[in-house]
Amino acid sequence: MTADADPAGRAELETGRCLLRSWTPADETRVLDIYSRWTVARWLGSTPQPMEDPAEAARLVARWDELNRSEPVARRWAVERRDDGLLLGAVILVPLPDGDGEFEVGWHFHPDAWGHGYATEAARAAIAWGFARGLDEIWAVVRPDNTPSLAVCARAGMTPHGRTTRYYQAELELFHVRRPERG
């Protein structure tokens, strides 16, 4: 993974197959396609609800782009496949709600990107980003029946800590990874 390696200057991070970059208005149609699907939305937030109209997608893209510009560590990246420029989904590194400063990594991908390892690749890049910016630990919370995301946590090197009801007003599986010791 390298920072700012995209020759067009759009990416903040580059992995073997993906660019993690800022959001643009050109992403709005694909964002609506991703978040309007119950197969995606069912795993998100305290009260899952699919996105319903293009205006919601435009607001989300604008909000995430604005937040990325104003926060030094927290990010909500668009994940683009390098080979063809397809927007695969999003990876986030944000403070956990109702937490004490803990940061969480999360991922939301279009179903056509599932099962190819993109979420794991993007999550690892987001975790490395956070550690490089001074975070000592990063958490993930996953609904217990979201088997694919539970597997991403394991492949991203996260340790399971059992169930919690502390975040998102839901019972979730809690995962954690610490910054490697420098020696």
Q: Work out the mean pLDDT of the chain and round it to a whole number.
A: 92
- C-alpha closest to that of 45 among 111, 116, 96: 96
Cβ–Cβ contacts within 10 Å for residue 44, how many? 15
Looking at residue 47, what is its pLDDT? Answer: 86
144 and 172 Cβ atoms separated by less than 8 Å: yes
104 and 138 Cβ atoms separated by less than 8 Å: yes
Q: Helix or strand or coil: residue 76?
A: strand
The residue whose two tokens read 């991070």 is: 13
Q: Please give the domain boundaries of the chain with CATH numbers for all domains.
A: 2-178 (3.40.630.30)
Looking at residue 10, what is its pLDDT? Answer: 59
Give the pLDDT band (50/70/90) at residue 8: very low
| Chain segment 89-102, per-residue pLDDT in tens | 999 999 998 888 89
Give the pLDDT band (50/70/90) at residue 5: very low
Looking at residue 2, what is its pLDDT? Answer: 44
- In 55-68, which positions are buried (b, 16+ CB within 10 angstroms) versus exposed (e)? ebbbebbeebbeeb
Mean pLDDT within 66-88: 95
Above 80 in pLDDT, residue 4? no
Looking at residue 9, what is its pLDDT? Answer: 47
Looking at residue 183, what is its pLDDT? Answer: 55
* 102 burial level (CB within 10 Å; 0-12, 13-18, 19+): middle
177 and 159 Cβ atoms separated by less than 8 Å: yes
Looking at residue 99, what is its pLDDT? Answer: 83
Residues 6+ apart with CB under 8 A from 6: 14, 19, 21
Looking at residue 36, what is its pLDDT? Answer: 97
